[in-house]
Amino acid sequence: MPCLQLVTSSRNHMTEPFKMWLVTMFLPLILIGGLISIILRWRKAHFSEIRPMKDNMSPHAENSHNDANHTSLFTFSLNPSDDQAIGRGYWTGRMADHMYLHRHRSKHNVLVINNDLEYHFAPSGVVDEFLVKYHETSRARTVPYKVVVFEEGMLVNMGDSGVINWDWRGNFVRSGNKVVTFKPLVPGVEHQSDDWVAVKA
């Protein structure tokens, strides 16, 4: 019996250093793995929605009715759609510029309009169309904007025609402050927005 106790004691004595060796070897690996996991989750949370659009991205690569897909393709300067970061009028103009110059390479007319307004718009040859939200945190509300890329059409704005509510790019003729008629773009001819001053209705 004393002999058996000696063997058991000896076996326990040999496993203690082995256990310590295992802990010493694997504890740093576990800590490093946890740290890497935290860093990757942080990067994903902070950078997943501010990827710049790829230059070779086709305008038809994403579902044109899914605003989440479109938002992820906007440039960094457009992503902060909130009045703390960028004013509504400036944001609306930047959105129109981005869609006209960068996303569609000045090949189609572009309209960005507050979708809560009362307006009549009859476009033809629609290439892209989606809703995007502007967060007006100072007034605790979200303003939906419709973005339409098209060949030609007529817009009658029956609501507030201030710069915060609408903007456009392309080949157009403006009649007063409420009506804009868009014609197909002519290849090789540069079209720019006129310098009219928007006024409230």
Tell me the DSSP string of 60-79. Answer: TSS-TT-HHHHHTTS-TTTS
Bridge partners of 133, per DSSP, are 144
Residue 16 CA to residue 28 CA, distance in Å, equals 19
CB within 8 Å of 147: residues ≥ 6 apart: 70, 95, 99, 110, 111, 112, 128, 129, 130, 131, 132
pTM metric for this prediction: 0.59
Residue 108 CA to residue 105 CA, distance in Å, equals 8
107 phi and psi angles, rounded to 5 deg: -100, -15
pLDDT tens for the chain, 201 residues long, are 555 454 455 555 567 777 777 778 777 888 888 888 787 765 555 443 333 333 333 333 333 344 444 544 554 445 455 556 788 888 899 999 999 999 999 999 999 999 999 999 999 999 999 999 888 878 888 899 999 999 999 999 998 888 899 999 999 999 888 999 999 998 877 765 555 444 433
The vertex-118 CA angle with 114 and 122, nearest 5°, equals 85
Q: Look at residues 149, 142, 49 and name the one whose alpha carbon lies nearest to residue 88.
A: 142
Residue 126 CA to residue 114 CA, distance in Å, equals 18
